[in-house]
Structure 1
């Protein structure tokens, strides 16, 4: 074995031994720091004539001889370490005190080999070039296991998408296979989050994320309980007849409200302290293990709708929800909304709620229009 190879093995071995002491306390963070440093070292050697494709095999083999029982340092994993560094090395363009010292290894050993390695490993410059570093998920980044890191940097090239999946892994404690499925489905690009307060009102975070994904930001619905607050009168009786007829005719359509939804009823009777109310639609979702109250409104979103829905949720949780079920979720389904305004006002409520919209009959595709009853039929009912 030539001297340069011996030096390389000694350098990596020293770094491993230095990190193992800290690894028991902060396994993932320390592991990533080590792997990034080794990747940086290996990347600096890439391209040298003496560093052909067989070098990583030789280094891995020699490391196993000198550190019996060592795992995670196969030739392929050493290559992944190098790629790990190279995929994030562009963050080093400008200084940042927030991350300085994170991706570094102690200089405890003064041998020539460790001096060579630690001269490369310490990261004093770690900042996005031309990109706001404030967006970089520092804490989450160091909580994502290396196997997940490999999946993210090998399958996702867009920076914001990487951030998204890093957050998802930490928030939901995702397994690698689940992460791969999300990436394959392009979850980042397909996220259309309705205004909601689920992150504050539903725990754990993984359940809150499921709730967000369970509801669409827009539905194809029409003619179902279109009264406005304060507009109830004698004609309301006829409206309910129409509503019941429509629900009967579009039952299959309503059942497509989302995954694992079971339709419980419409105009569901609620009562508290001799006050009676009727929630428009009541569902149960098996995945979320909770009831879902849906209030349908004919016009544009109004803040008052949230107050009404909050009262319904309180009654449902107190009077109807089973002890083993999660908190009831409420959805306001209206014709249109100012999404930013809805997101703004909903944060003041402590009940899990979201706001979404629906398209009118004229805006629906022709095949969907066929599902709904004919307007002439509705006139006959009236």
Structure 2
């Protein structure tokens, strides 16, 4: 057996299986979302036509349980959420429940008359993103009344595969308002043409929801991040590739180690993270500045932009940060981290179990 041929075969099969599973999961998610939208529309139309009160949802839920024993995810509370979901997007009905396939001209005409679509050019892209998010994420998004802000979170959740917890965290922390608000010195340490993009690539606060308890040291925190590096990269955003942890730097026969080293393909530069389990201290900036100098001299390639550093700490004073990094000419920022958030109890029973959903679909 030729090892290279066999390994190539194995890789191809594994990739095909993963791709198929991902597509199947997306298809189930989309069908579930459309089911909830249809149920919401039916409930809304029938309740209004018959003049029924809010208590009718309790009766409908109980009767559904009798018709489909063991049915989960269709409590009166969840039926109410499905109705609210439909009421929030009634203008999407031709796209989500249309009996015929719409051509591009018809899509554009409906789009121009739709308050949901009025600010978006590409209808197909909007629908891809809209149908690519789960119902629990959509219902969380309904708390945002500003369409531009809601679309921002919708797009970010889709592109970065945010979980409910990640979306909830970013909404609560005001990520939309804080874009580019990380404490930094990019305005005088980077070329003008990349400053805005660089600031937008980093966050003021990161959610480390895979760390269950407060880490006792930077090394423990680092090991948790490395063990969950895929989740950490998804939380960082687009373009990040992990190079390694405890990346060794040699200076005059002395060893120094960068906690976490990444490369950002969009920014075309190395990104060094230093982890601190306590409050930011001025000396943290000095340590990171040293690492960035060494990285630029010994690791950075000629075509790459200057290396960027981020101190990721538990707490910070923005005033202390400003004084600490003001005179440093290497691009760096200071962010905080939050460990975990609880899923609200109102959302825990929002989905039926997978077996029940498969039967329904």
When the two structures are superposed, what TM-score results if normalisation uses the length of structure 2?
A: 0.44
Larger C-alpha radius of gyration, 1 or 2? Answer: 1
When the two structures are superposed, what TM-score results if normalisation uses the length of structure 1?
A: 0.42
